[in-house]
A and B are shown apart, each in its own frame.
Chain A
Amino acid sequence: MRDFAQLFASLDETNKTNAKINVLKDYFISVPAEDKIHTLALFTGRKPKRQINATLVKTWAIELANIPQWLFEESYQVVGDLGETIALLLPDGESTHGKSLAEFIREMNDLNTLTENEKKIWLIDSWTSMTRQERFVFNKILTGSFRVGVSQSLIVKALSEISGLNPAVITHRIMGNWDPATFSFHDLLQEEDGSDDASRPYPFCLAYAIQETSDKSKSAEEIAQDLGDTIEWQAEWKWDGIRAQVIHRKGEIFIWTRGEELATEKFPELHDFILSLPDGTVLDGEAICFAENKPLPFNVLQTRIGRKNLSKKILAESPMAFIAYDCLEFAGDDIRSMPFKHRRSVLEKLHQINPHQDTFQLSAIVQFDTWQELFDLRLQSRENHAEGFMLKKLDSIYQTGRKRGDWWKWKVDPLSVDAVMIYAQKGHGRRADLYTDYTFAVWDGDKLVPFAKAYSGLTDKEIKQVDYFVKRNTLEKFGPVRTVKPELVFEIGFEGINRSTRHKSGIALRFPRILRWRQDKKIEEADTLETLRAML
């Protein structure tokens, strides 16, 4: 555990990519094999199951820290991270446990056989045998909130430098359904892929936005300059569903989401069509609610994704389909390095022979001869229930991760209104102890009605200015939330708007964020609820 805590501290101690890679390499070379694979599991989001709930962890920490509960809660508000708060509040300790990361994780996994009191003894013993830095990392693992400050691509790069394997190969091998207790680090870095994991998905090919923000709208001419001849490109609508890979291998089926979550059970409607695909097929596409030959808004899908049990009612109200746009594996062969045009024809054949045409949809190709034509069509995205276009180069391979050049997303400009900030709350992590989470309101008669929360879109400097304003213009405090004097106006952008019975304003926004701070506007000039309703 000492090595792992030190690794974490060392990664924290530099902002330079190369230095971080060196730290990772040194670590992976020096620790025991068991710790290597557990570290890799943690760094790729494979957390041990949480065995003690956060309330108990908190209660026992408060006891050991010997402070009132309210002071613990307020400390948490300041720190913005539970694991770190506990690590800071407990009395100072020395590292006396002598256990490795793997041993601690094994103990955590075995906690479910213990009584509550035994768990408490284990936790307090563990805490008191650790330094503050070890405790922090330990708490993060224990509470299932472990996240690292390094991207997966950096870890892949370090492993690639150690093994001499191509980064794309490693990215692929560390995907899927593996368990650090059985997966071998040694095999992972072998020349030949030794895995027989039928569920393993491919790394998703991701697109960059061709216009970075809505401020920098691009004309058809500019797009033409960036992308060249239209003949080399294919355009498809960009759907607002859940990006997913469907797999049929060795008689089994798997559905993976873009967040590397195995979601096979969440979409039972899709099982039949996947089973009808020839064995050894992997498709990339969008899982989306779909009825009467058209996609339904995202909020319909939202009502079912969080649920454990899919009732008949839910299934009836939110029918699923899969809009397929690529084929990555055919007849058991990885075909990602074939040109897109070829993969598309394979996909079309698979679609043609599939008996489940209702749930297996093919992403339609949008016909266009000039970029201007496409530009005009894009303005109709919302009527077509799409977010804009995906532009894909016909001769491109299926890339690993986000690469510039072959795939682009060209989104429609967001909808927007001017709104008044009325509540503020402190953020977490990098934004801890700063007021960064705001609630915005529009006018309904002479009242301001809250309609959206937004966290992002301001620069660090603007955040500091708004924080300064909030601290000096607080009208009331409700726990962590401050009501502030209505004075600051912001332009709020969003991708879609729907009716909602759960919100006071009667509307719910899709992906709201701050587009800009309107320092030139007075609160009287903010928009009204009427304006928003007119967008429904």
Chain B
Amino acid sequence: MGKPLLQFNDCGIYCAAGNFYIDPWKPVDDAVITHAHSDHARWGNKRYLAHHLSREVLKYRLGTDIQLQTVEYGERIQKNGVTISFHPAGHIIGSAQVRVEHKGEVWVVSGDYKLEDDGLSTPFEPVKCHTFISECTFGMPVYKWKDPSLVHQDINDWWRLNASEGRATVIAGYSLGKAQRIMHHLDLSIGNIFLHGVIANTHEALERNGIKLPAATRITPEVSKDEFKTGIIICPPSALGSPWIKRFQPFAFGYCSGWMALRGAKRRMAADRGFVLSDHADWDGLIKAIDATGCECVCLTHGYTASFSRYLSERGYNAHEAHTYYGGDEATEEDELPVEVLNEQGGVIGGTSNESEEVL
């Protein structure tokens, strides 16, 4: 056997035959991007290849001057005899699984994915392959999502109750993906939507990309406080505990994330309400997706990689853990890079990160 079609090296997931990287974490010449989240689409690459619907967000996050080529789902691109194509991952708008084919061998990199149709992202489609490089953010059997329509109903009921009692509703979810998903399912007969600056920026970028989103107001000092009382305010998790959030008092605070499935995580966030709503596959979803690829070999990039690979091995897969910089290893906030620990010389203790999420 020759070299594997894709390898994990210092910079990212590398295809030697095609000389390109998928979701590299260090700057490279050719980067194929599964989706626009900051742990997958990083700054500093020479050329980017991504899906059409990631275009405006990538430009907003990485700079308008990036050299970016975009493609449609299913379109085939050739690089040094290697065929690359994008397939819907259902994670967020524009998210894709990247299929790589060379001399009859097929590998698929999942990026992040979920199986449920969220009404905005193109729904996940399984892709047959020999080797599947998968995330497993929620790869433990305690994570089992309930029907998302019930969660959206809970959010609307909670908003309605708050509005009737004259209390603002503040809901946190990460800015690209979760925020739009929450918004898309709101019952606008209750009140108006207000957006934190970071989310408003993403919102506008998506609209430039032709995505239809509900009408929402960017929060500025000019917006009258009275308007918040029946409104819903969507903010990133980082806004919690910041002075910014005080202007909405009195308010109830809710947090939308798959991590809310555990009481401990919910109590840590000190949220009034934790809504279990994730853009990642749950335990059953991961297994279903992996089975559907018909693959023999699975590489797990981030999440509960050790336990999940052991479980898959017991089910007959050739399963491995791969060390990557996605999701920040058992990440607690999906779109946020973990805080850095600095040593006395100002260097980062234990790993590096070259980017920080925009704040306020």
Contacts and interface: CB of A to CB of B under 8 A. Distances in A.
Does B associate with A? yes
Contacts of B264: 79-81, 428-433
Nearest to A484: B350
Contacts of A67: 141
A473 interface: yes
B106 interface: no
B61 interface: no
A71 interface: yes
A471 B273 contact: no
Contacts of B140: 74-75, 78
Contact of A520 (B310, B329, B344, B351): B344
Interface in B248-277: 252-253, 261-268, 270-273
A472 interface: yes
A70 B266 CA distance: 26
A67 B141 CA distance: 9
A244 B304 CA distance: 47
Contacts of B252: 14
A433 B260 CA distance: 12
B297 to A, nearest CB: 21
B341 interface: yes
B272 A14 contact: yes
A466 B350 CA distance: 10
A94 to B, nearest CB: 13
Given A71-B307, A84-B262, A430-B264, A468 B272 contact: no
Contacts of A434: 268, 332
Contacts of B328: 468
B350 A472 contact: yes
B161 to A, nearest CB: 11
A464 interface: yes
Residue with the greatest number of chain A CB neighbours at <10 A, chosen from B144, B310, B328, B350: B350
B268 A74 contact: no
Contacts of B268: 430-431, 434, 460
Nearest to B311: A71
Provide the main secondary structure of the chain B interface.
loop
Interface in A82-105: 84-85, 88-89, 92
A85 B142 CA distance: 7
A89 to B, nearest CB: 6
Interface string A443-472: 000000000000000001100111011011
Contacts of A71: 141, 307, 311
Given A88-B142, A465-B341, A520-B344, A471 B330 contact: yes
B127 to A, nearest CB: 27
A350 interface: no
A88 B261 contact: yes
Contacts of A250: none
Contacts of A75: 140-142
A89 B342 CA distance: 39
A519 interface: yes
Given A68-B314, A84-B263, A430-B264, A464 B339 contact: yes
Contacts of A460: 268
Interface string A466-502: 1011011100000000000001000000000000000
Q: Which of A14, A433, A468, A522 is packed against the most chain B CB atoms within 10 Å?
A: A468
Interface residues of A, number: 43
B307 A15 contact: no
Given A84-B262, A88-B142, A469 B272 contact: no
Interface in B330-360: 330, 332, 338-344, 349-351
A186 interface: no
Nearest to A76: B142
A178 B305 CA distance: 50
A526 B332 CA distance: 32
Contacts of A149: 267
Nearest to A91: B144
A34 B307 CA distance: 45
A16 interface: yes
A125 interface: no
Interface in A502-536: 519-520, 522
A65 interface: yes
A432 B266 CA distance: 10
B316 to A, nearest CB: 14
A370 B264 CA distance: 49
A215 interface: no
A13 interface: yes
A105 B290 CA distance: 44
Given A84-B262, A465-B341, A520-B344, A78 B142 contact: yes
A472 B351 CA distance: 7
B254 to A, nearest CB: 10
A88 B272 contact: no
Contacts of A433: 262, 264-265, 330
B354 to A, nearest CB: 16
A472 B141 contact: no
A12 interface: yes
B220 to A, nearest CB: 28
Contacts of A80: 262, 264
Interface string B225-254: 000000000000000000000000000110
A88 B314 CA distance: 22
B141 A519 contact: no
Contacts of A16: 272
Nearest to A66: B141
A234 B66 CA distance: 75
20 contacts: A75-B141, A78-B140, A79-B262, A84-B262, A85-B142, A88-B261, A92-B144, A149-B267, A429-B264, A464-B338, A468-B328, A468-B339, A468-B340, A469-B341, A469-B349, A471-B330, A473-B349, A473-B350, A487-B349, A520-B344
Given A65-B141, A461-B339, A466-B341, 10 more contacts: A12-B266, A15-B253, A15-B270, A68-B314, A74-B140, A84-B262, A88-B142, A434-B332, A468-B339, A522-B344
The 9 closest A-B pairs by CB, nearest first: A432-B264, A472-B350, A88-B142, A430-B267, A465-B341, A468-B338, A472-B351, A74-B307, A473-B350
Interface of B: 140-142, 144, 252-253, 261-268, 270-273, 304, 307, 310-311, 314, 328-330, 332, 338-344, 349-351
